[in-house]
Structure 1
Amino acid sequence: MKFSENWLRQHVKTDASREELAATLTAIGLEVEEITPLGTSLEGVVVARIVSAEKHPEADRLQVCQVDAGGTTLQIVCGAPNVRPGLVAPLATIGTQVGDLTIKAAKLRSVESNGMLCSARELGIDADASGLLELPDDAPVGTPLADYLGLPDATIELKLTPNRADCFGIRGIAFDVAAACGSEVAPLDAPAVSPTSDASLQVVLDAGADAPRYLGRVIEGVDATRPTPVWMAERLRRSGIRPVSFLVDVTQYVMLELGQPMHAFDRDLLTGPVGVRRARKGEALKLLDGRDATLDEQFLAITDADRVVALAGVMGGFDTRVTDGTRNVFLESAHFAPDAIIGRSRKLGLHTDAAHRFERGVDPELPRTAIEYATRLILDVAGGTAGPVTAAELDAHIATPRTIALRRARLARVLGLTVEDAEVERILRALGLDVVADDAGWQVTAPTRRFDLAIEEDLIEEVVRIHGYDRVPTTLPGGATRIAAPSETRVAEAELRRQMVARDCLETVNFAFVDASLLAAWQMAAGSVPLANPLSAELGVMRTALLPGLVSSLARNLARQQDRVRLFELGKVFAQAEAAGAAPVETLQVAAAVAGDAGAEQWGDASRPVDYFDLKGDLEALAAVAGAQLSFARSTAPHGHPGRSADVLRDGRRVGWIGELHPRLLRALDIDVPVVAFELEAAALQARPLPRVTGLSKFPSVRRDLAIVAPESVDWAALEATVRASAGPLLADVRLFDRYAGQGVETGFRSLAMGLILQESSRTLTDRDVDAVVADVVAALARQHDAKIRG
Structure 2
Amino acid sequence: MKVPVSWLSQHVDLPAGTGVEDLDAAFVRQGLEVEDVLRAPETTGPLVVGRVLEIEELTGFKKPIRYCRVDVGNPEAQGIVCGARNFAVGDLVVVALPGVVLPGDFAIAARETYGRVSDGMICSVRELGIGDDHEGILVLGTEGIEPGTPAAGVLGLDDVVFDLEVTTDRGYCMAIRGVAREVAAALGAPWQDPAAATPPAWSGEPAWAVEVEDPARCDRFSMIAMEGLDPAAPTPWWMRRRLTRCGVRSISLAVDVTNYVMLELGQPMHAFDRDAVRGPVVVRTARPGERVTTLDGADRALTDDDLLITDDTGPIGLAGVMGGATTEVSGSTTALLLEAAHWEPTGIGRGVRRHKLPSEAAKRFERGTDPDVTVVALARAAELLAEFGGARVVGGVVDVDARAPRPQIALATDRPQAVAGIPISPDTVVDALRTVGCTVEAEGAALTVTPPSWRPDLTDPADLVEEVVRAVGYDEIPGVLPTVPPGRGLTPAQRRRRSVGRALADAGYTEAPAYPFVGPAALTALGLPTEGLLTLRNPLSEQEPAMRPSLLPGLLATVARNLGRGQRDLAVFELGVVYTPGAVSAAPLPPVDRRPDDDVLAALLGAVPAQPWHVGVALTGLREPRGQWGPGRVADWADAVEAARTVADAAGVELVVRAGDRLPWHPGRCAELVVGDVVVGYAGELHPRVCAALELPARTCAMELDLDALPEKAVAQAPAISAFPPVRMDAALVVDAGVPEAGVRASLAGAAGQLLEDLQLFDVYTGASLGEGRKSLAYAFTFRAADRTLTGEQAREAFDAAVAAAAADHGAVLRA
TMscore range, shorter length: 0.7 to 0.9
> What SS does the aligned partner of 2:673 have?
strand
> 1:485 and 2:489 equivalent?
yes
**Which secondary structure state, in structure 2, belongs to the residue aligned with residue 234 of structure 1?**
helix
Q: Is the 8 A contact 2:803 2:814 kept in 1?
A: no
Deviations 1:727-786 (CA, angstroms, capped at 9, x unpaired)? 99999876656666677979767676778989999999999999899989978996xx77
Aligned to 1:3: 3
Q: Contact 1:505–1:566 at 8 Å: present in 2 too?
A: yes
1:361 corresponds to? 368
Kept in 2, the 8 Å contact 1:417–1:472? The answer is: yes
Secondary structure in structure 2 of the residue aligned to 1:175: helix
Distance 1:219 1:73, change over 3 A: farther
CA deviations on 1:126-180 (whole Å, 9 max, x unpaired) are 3434431123345555273456556642322112233322222222222222221
Which of 80, 90, 93 aligns to 2:94? It is 90
Residue 6 of structure 2 aligns to which amino acid in structure 1? N
Q: Distance in 1 between matches of 2:363 and 2:714?
A: 56
**What amino acid is aligned across from residue 497 of structure 1 in structure 2?**
G
**d(CA) in 2 for partners of 1:389 and 1:651?**
79
Once the two structures are TM-superposed, the CA of residue 440 in structure 1 deviates from its matched residue by: 5.2
Query: Are 1:511 and 2:519 counterparts?
Result: no
Name 2:66's counterpart in structure 1. Answer: 63
Counterpart for residue 215 of structure 1: 221
- Change over 3 Å in CA distance of 1:518–1:50 after alignment to 2: farther
- 1:233-252 paired onto structure 2 within 5 Å: 233-252=240-259
Give the whole-Å Cα distance in 1 for the aligned partners of 2:377 and 2:351: 24
Question: Are the structure 2 counterparts of residues 394 and 61 from structure 1 closer, same or farther at C-alpha, using a change threshold of 3 Å?
Answer: closer
1:680 deviates by: 2.9
Aligned equivalent of 1:502: 506
Q: Is the 8 A contact 1:313 1:336 kept in 2?
A: yes
Counterpart for residue 340 of structure 1: 347
Within a 5 Å distance, the mapping from 1:366-381 to structure 2 comes to: 366-381=373-388
Answering whether residue 567 of structure 2 is matched by residue 559 of structure 1, we say no
| 1:599-621 per-position Cα deviation (integer Å, ceiling 9, x unaligned) | 23432344110112223222322
Indicate if the aligned counterparts of 2:533 and 2:582 stay in contact, CA closer than 8 A: no
Separation of aligned partners in 1, 2:627 and 2:794: 51
Residue 161 of structure 2 is matched in structure 1 by 155
**How many Å apart are 1:683 and its aligned residue?**
2.9
Shift of the alpha carbon at 1:458? 3.9
Aligned residue for 1:163, secondary structure, equals helix
Trace 1:36-55 onto structure 2 (pairs within 5 A).
36-38=38-40, 44-49=47-52, 51-55=54-58
Instruction: Verify the 8 A CA contact 1:75 1:112 in the aligned structure 2.
Output: no
Q: Distance in 2 between matches of 1:470 and 1:368?
A: 40
Alpha-carbon distance in 1 for matches of 2:456, 2:784? 73
Q: In 1, distance between residues paired with 2:201 and 2:394?
A: 8
2:391 matches 1:383: yes
> Does structure 2 conserve the Cα–Cα contact (< 8 Å) formed by 1:593 and 1:676?
yes
Distance in 1 between residues matched to 2:123 and 2:794, nearest whole Å: 115
Aligned residue for 2:77, secondary structure, equals strand
Q: Note the 1:446-485 alignment, pairs <5 A.
A: 446-477=451-482, 479=483, 481-485=485-489
Instruction: Give yes or no for contact 1:220–1:329 (8 Å, CA) kept in 2.
Output: yes
Partner in structure 2 of residue 645 of structure 1: 670
Q: Which position in structure 2 is the counterpart of 1:173?
A: 179
Query: Mean alpha-carbon deviation: is it higher for 700-709 or for 618-627?
Result: 700-709
Give the Å deviation of 1:597: 1.0
Displacement of 1:516: 5.0
User: How far apart in 2 are the matches of 1:20 and 1:440?
Assistant: 36
Superposed CA deviations along residues 644-692 of structure 1, whole A, max 9, x for unmatched, are: 223434443343332222222222333335321223334346x632415
Distance 1:774 1:359 in 2: 81
The Cα of 1:493 is off from its aligned counterpart by: 4.2
What do the CA deviations read for 1:391-410 (whole angstroms, capped 9, x no partner)?
A: 45665xx68335152553x5
Is 1:194 the counterpart of 2:201 in the alignment?
yes
Task: Give 2:713's match in structure 1, choosing from 677, 680, 689.
Answer: 689
Rounded Cα–Cα distance in structure 2 between residues aligned with 1:354 and 1:504: 55
Q: How does 1:517-666 map to 2 (within 5 A)?
A: 517-524=521-528, 525-529=530-534, 541-574=546-579, 577-579=582-584, 581=586, 585=609, 586-666=611-691
- CA drift of 1:705 comes to 8.9
Distance 2:286 2:691 in 1: 42
The residue number in structure 1 matching 2:597 is none
TM-aligned CA deviation for residue 242 of structure 1: 1.4
Distance in 1, Cα, partners of 2:128 & 2:56 = 22
The one-letter code of the counterpart of 1:227 is P
1:719 Cα deviation (Å)? 6.2
What is the rounded CA distance, in whole Å, between the counterparts of 1:577 and 1:337 in structure 2?
Answer: 33
Give the 3-state SS of the residue equivalent to 1:683 in structure 2.
helix
CA contact (8 A) 1:53 1:83 kept: no
Deviation of 1:79 (Å): 3.7
How far residue 475 of structure 1 moved from its aligned partner, in angstroms, is 4.1
Native 8 Å contact 2:755 2:798 kept in 1:
no
Q: Distance in 2 between matches of 1:493 and 1:161?
A: 39
AA in 2 matched with 1:383:
A
* SS of structure 2 residue aligned to 1:598: strand
**Which residue matches 1:675?**
700
TM-score of the two chains, using structure 2 as the length reference? 0.82
Q: How many pairs were matched up? A: 783
Task: Tell me which residue corresponds to 1:133.
Answer: 138
Task: Determine if contact 2:737/2:775 at 8 Å carries over to the other structure.
Answer: yes
Deviation at 1:52, TM superposition (A): 0.7
Residue 274 in 1 paired to residue 278 in 2?
A: no
**8 Å Cα contact 1:339-1:359 kept in structure 2:** yes
Q: Distance in 1 between matches of 2:123 and 2:408?
A: 54
- Tell me the amino acid that sits aligned with residue 18 of structure 1: V
Quote the sequence identity (%): 34
1:308 aligns with 2:312: no
> What RMSD in Å do the two structures reach over aligned CA positions?
4.3
Q: 1:649 to 1:135 in 2, by over 3 A?
A: farther
1:317 aligned to 2:342? no
Deviating more after overlay: 101-110 vs 719-728 = 719-728
Residues 751, 790 of structure 1: 8 Å contact kept: no
d(CA) in 2 for partners of 1:644 and 1:712?
12
Please state how far the C-alpha of 1:444 moved relative to its aligned partner: 4.3
Sort the Cα spacing of 1:154 and 1:605 in 2 relative to 1 into closer, same or farther, 3 A. same
Q: Secondary structure at the match of 2:572?
A: strand
* SS of equivalent to 2:642: helix
Matched to 2:275, the amino acid is D
- Unpaired stretches in structure 2, ≥5 consecutive residues: 588-606
Q: Which moved more, 1:739-748 or 1:88-97?
A: 739-748
Deviations 1:321-371 (A, max 9, x none): 223443443332233333323354454453311222333333455545434
Counterpart Cα distance in 2 of 1:731 and 1:229: 100
Kept in 2: contact 1:179–1:427 (CA 8 A): no
Per the TM alignment, residue 519 of structure 1 is displaced from its structure 2 partner at its CA by: 3.7
1:191 partner SS: coil
Letter of the 2:677 counterpart:
G
CA contact (8 A) 1:401 1:448 kept: no
Q: Is the partner of 1:648 in helix, strand or coil?
A: strand
2: CA distance, partners of 1:760 / 1:206 = 90
Confirm or deny: 8 A CA contact 1:178 1:430 kept in the other structure.
no
Q: Distance in 2 between matches of 1:120 and 1:345?
A: 33
Select between 740-749 and 580-589 the one with higher mean Cα deviation: 740-749
Q: State whether residues 243 and 249 of structure 2, in contact with CA within 8 Å, keep that contact through their aligned partners in structure 1.
A: yes
Partner AA of 1:329 in structure 2: L
Higher mean C-alpha displacement, 139-148 vs 768-777: 768-777
Report the TM-score, using the length of structure 1 for normalisation: 0.85
| 1:598 Cα deviation after fit | 1.3
| Cα deviation, residue 14, structure 1 | 1.9
Once the two structures are superposed, what CA deviation does each residue of 1:25-68 show, in whole Å capped at 9, x if it has no partner? 13432122222224886865114225213328889675321224
